[in-house]
Amino acid sequence: MRVGFIGLGVMGRPMAEHVLRAGHTLGVWARRPESAAPLVAQGATAYDTPAALAAASDAVITIITNSRDVEGVAFGPDGLAAGFAPGAVHVDMSTIAPEAARAFARRYAERGIDWVDAPVSGGEQAAQAGTLAIMAGAREDVFERVRPLFAAMGKTIVRVGEAGAGQVAKACNQMVMICALQACAEAMHLARAHGVDLAAVRTALMGGSAASRVLEVMGDRMVRRDFSAGIQARLHHKDFGILLDEAVKIGAPLPIAAQTWQQLNALMKQGWGYDDTSSLLKVLEAATGASE
């Protein structure tokens, strides 16, 4: 396929590289030309505008920050919509609001253009390994058309439902993961308050029913007190804002998520938004004066 890619950051660049290595023709657009340079060196073609990229592509993949950014790239001046031919598809792998995804799908449909919302989970490591979990919202025929692109980037690929369903699944993923991270932080905080060895506690928990990927990775960062960014906390704060806003709109009570949201707010207030979300441990420590 002729594939365009926008969003060449920590996640996007390795994802685009996998698409290129899978044999697809790759075009790229970036606000900063230096972001596109490594891919151009590998054989991708750089375009001056999203519209020009769309005109040369069967499908364009975006992975950028928020709903507003996606709307600007899609429908702003020289946006993708201005260049797409009927039958082309915009595959958005960003984490945005489900209703925004549905609205974009409707706007594209009026132009005969298809849409897939396909947010991902797994972080930078999975992006580099090509083992992302991809949760998609789209018509089944459109999903099948772009499945080969997902196969180049991911290991677990699931069509959840129609447009917006992928974003609903991602909101659920973020809620489970970050609430588990908060529980992990509280466990480490409790262990320290008792004066026991955190590494030993984590090892014991990893052998029991509390074992999880969050405890394995984030718990290790807490034990080592390595709060340098794996995934910046500000991004998880943004994701929680999306899911709780949606919960308010549909009247869905999320009591544990709401409590975790307050801890994320406190983290941001402390100025740790560019640190890893394992910094939730530091929020607890700051509240009790127990930080190292």
CA trace torsion 181, 183, 188, 189 (10° rounding): 120
Encoded amino acid at 119, one letter? P
Look at strands 59-62 and 2-6 and give their pairing: parallel
Q: Is 282 a catalytic residue?
A: no
Alpha-carbon gap, residue 107 to 122, rounded angstroms: 30
CB atoms within 10 A of CB 5: 31
At how many degrees (to 10) do helices 165-193 and 255-269 cross?
70
Instruction: Say which of 170, 238, 269, 282 is annotated catalytic.
Output: 170
Cα–Cα separations (whole angstroms), residue 261 to 21, 50, 182, 213, 227: 39, 35, 10, 21, 19
Active-site residue set: 170
